[in-house]
Amino acid sequence: MSDDLELRRQMVATCRRMNDSGINQGTAGNLSVRNAAGFLITATSLPYDQMEPEDLVQMFFDGTYEGRRRPSSEWRFHRDILQARQDINVVLHCHSVYATTLAVHHKTIPSFHYMTGVAGGTTIRCASYATFGTQALSDAALEALQDRLACLLGQHGQISLGKTLPAALALAIEVETLSRLYVQALTLGEPPILSDEEMARVIQQMKNMSYGQAPDLDGVNDIARPRTPAS
C-alpha cells in the first residue's frame, strides 16, 4: 500500500471521527495534511460519510491542485497556516457548537480553566470576522494562531492544529469541551481567571508530559514513584 493511499485513508477516518464526536455536521468543516508534494485537503461540498480516499485533493503551495474534485473553499487558510507553521502538519477546521457560540460573540477563551493551556498559551484567541474562503480570513486566522495551536474564528467556528491527525482531532474536541465549560460558567457570571504565572507552570508541565515525563513541579510526584522490584 502506498504511503499516499494510507494517508488518504487516515484522513477519511479522521473526518468521520469528527462527525462521530459531534464537532462536525453535514458538509461543514475541512481537514488538510502536509505531504511531500504540498498538502492533501478535503473536497468542497462533500459529506464525510460519502467521502472516499480518492476524493481528497492534492494541493500545492502555489494555489494549484490536482484531483477529481475541487478543494475546500477554505484552502487559503490551510495553505497559509501550513506554509507559516513548520511545527505542525495538520489543520482541522469545524463549526463545533459551543466554540461557534463563543465565536459569534467574538469571545476569546481566557484561562478560566488550566486546560486552556493545551492550545499553547494563556488564552484561545478569537480571530476577527472575515468572509469565508477569503485571504482576509486567512490573515485573521494566522494572527490569532500566533504562538497557539488553536483559535476561534469570529462568527464562524474553530481551527485546531497538530503534528498528527490524532493530535489535531484531540485538540479540536478539547477546544469544544472548554468552550462548553466556559459558556456554562458564564451563566453564573464572569469566572475567576488563573494568573499568567500559574499558567506558565501549567504549560511547562504539559510540555513535560508531551515529552513522556510526568510533571515534577511543586512536589506533585512526592507520592507517585515507580515501584522497585522486590529482590
Q: Could you read off the pLDDT of 158-203 as tens digits, one per residue?
A: 999 999 999 999 999 999 999 999 999 999 999 999 999 999 999 9
- For 58, the grid coordinates are 492534492
- Domain of 118? 3-214
Q: How confident is the model at residue 2 (pLDDT cuts 50, 70, 90)?
A: confident
Instruction: In whole angstroms, give the CA distance from residue 221 to residue 54.
Output: 49
Instruction: In whole angstroms, give the CA distance from residue 195 to residue 116.
Output: 12
* DSSP-assigned beta bridge partners for residue 58: 40, 66
pTM of the model as a whole:
0.91
Instruction: In whole angstroms, give the CA distance from residue 118 to residue 207.
Output: 9
pLDDT (0 to 100) of residue 206: 92
Instruction: In whole angstroms, give the CA distance from residue 199 to residue 120.
Output: 10
Please report whether residue 229 resides in a domain.
Answer: no
Please report whether residue 172 resides in a domain.
Answer: yes
Q: What CATH number has the domain bearing residue 7?
A: 3.40.225.10
Q: Quick one: average pLDDT of 89-104?
A: 98
Please report whether residue 225 resides in a domain.
Answer: no
Q: Which one, of 92, 2, 100, 79, lies nearest residue 48 by Cα? A: 92
Please report whether residue 219 resides in a domain.
Answer: no
Please report whether residue 222 resides in a domain.
Answer: no
- Residue 102: CB atoms within 10 A of its CB come to 23
pLDDT tens for each residue of 8-38:
999 999 999 999 999 998 889 999 999 999 9
Q: Is the dihedral of CA 35, 73, 141, 180 positive or negative?
A: negative
Catalytic residues: 74
Number of folded domains in the chain? 1
Q: How confident is the model at residue 212 (pLDDT cuts 50, 70, 90)?
A: low
Instruction: In whole angstroms, give the CA distance from residue 19 to residue 73.
Output: 19
